[in-house]
Amino acid sequence: MSGFAQLRLDGVTRRFGTADALSGLDLTIERGEFIALLGPSGCGKSTALNCLAGLLPLTAGSIWQDDRRIDTLPPEKRGFGMVFQNYALFPHLTVRDNIAFGLRMRNLPKSDVQRRTADAIEMVQLGDHAGKLPGQLSGGQQQRVAIARATVLEPSLVLMDEPLSNLDAKLRLEMRTEIRRLHQSLGLTTVYVTHDQEEALSMADRLVVMRLGKVQQIGTPEEVHTKPSTWHVADFMGYRNLLPLKVSQLNGDQVTVDLGGTPVRGAAQGPVAIGDDVIAAVRPEDVKLGDEGVKGLVEVVEYQGRERALEVALDGDVKLHVRTEHRVEPGEQVALTVTPGRLLVYPS
């Protein structure tokens, strides 16, 4: 299957009954990109991937490979590779035969099949296991077989649906690097579904953050991490403090809110006016303990190795999550400041 310069999703919509599982997805994927579809359970990520794969017909919209419309093609005519969380290997075939399967289906010369299969086995470092059955492999090894099987056909696009979710934490970290390395060395274009924001941030060139079937934000990991477009995205990206506050002063996009009786400055992330109810978002690691600032009472201390996670009660029934390297005890009075520029203020 030939490559493409761009893959374009244009208003891709999929309805089940009366509900849109995916609603008007617009996305242009450049050749060579690693795209993560990210969002909480039920937001429509898998639906988007299955629409791309051709496993689900669209209710509305279209998908284009350069100027060729492909959403009307059956899955096998799209030339995409797929990797799923349950591996979907043939249990009665060896590693080698699992990987060679697709090449054989294409009636390629035997020597080509052998060479490409051997290369793929080498690439995922399964040389010592090529004669084994999937049941004799660890989860990580099985997932590597699945990846080799999907990429040996040199697909124009590789689709992965939570491929690491069945692996233990250590292996998950290793496989992140592994998949990213393969993506790069094979020059793949990859669309990767995950609900794990760290996975998405560490692997992808661009993130598509979804909620309730709709795109909330498309951006680089840094953009999505430092400037979430809505408080829902902020929530999902680890801004654990989402505080319902009021705007007391405004100067351009510099907003002052009242936090536990103390004015604190933040950056407006949308239209807000003095007196408005807003949602102020800040990460626990961007709240610092000091000698002055917002006064609060430490209620909960959770030991986390190098750091402690605190829950601090402020005036006005506001609770603030704080991470600190200081040794703090429950019942202590503390003063808190927010790292300048890190309080994001969203219209509520």
What's the closest the beta carbon of residue 176 comes to ligand ATP, in angstroms? 18
Residues 4-33 that bind ligand ATP (CB under 6 A): 16, 21
Q: What element of type H or E holds 318?
A: strand 318-324
Choose which of 2, 5, 18, 41 interacts with ligand ATP (CB under 6 A): 41
Q: Please say which residue, 18 or 107, places its beta carbon nearer to ligand ATP.
A: 18
In sequence order, what DSSP letters do the residues of 169-228 get, joined into one string?
Answer: HHHHHHHHHHHHHHHHHTT--EEEEES-HHHHHHH-SEEEEEETTEEEEEE-HHHHHHS-
Q: What is the number of residues in the chain?
A: 348
Out of 39, 221, 260, 296, the only residue in the binding site for ligand ATP (CB under 6 A) is: 39
Rg (CA), the chain: 24
Using CB under 6 A as the binding rule, the residues of this chain from 43 to 72 that contact ligand ATP are 43-47
Structure tokens that stand for 322 in this block: 């704080």
Nearer to ligand ATP, 180 or 195 (CB): 195
Q: Which stretch binds ligand ATP (CB under 6 A): 41-49, 128-136, 272-280, 337-345?
A: 41-49
Q: State how far the Cα of 340 lies from the Cα of 245, in Å rounded to an integer.
A: 18
Nearer to ligand ATP, 49 or 89 (CB): 49
Q: How far apart are CA 160 and CA 143, in angstroms?
A: 11
Rounded CA-CA distance 77/32 in Å is 20
With respect to ligand ATP, which residue has the nearer C-beta, 55 or 309?
A: 55
| Among 31, 195, 265, 295, contact with ligand ATP (rule: CB under 6 A) | 195
Measured distance CA(25)–CA(214) in Å, rounded: 7
CB 203 → ligand ATP: shortest distance, Å? 17
Decide if residue 200 touches ligand ATP (CB under 6 A): no
Taking the complex as a whole, how short is the minimal distance between the CB of residue 165 and ligand ATP, in angstroms? Answer: 9
* Positions that interact with ligand ATP (CB under 6 A): 16, 21, 39, 41-47, 195
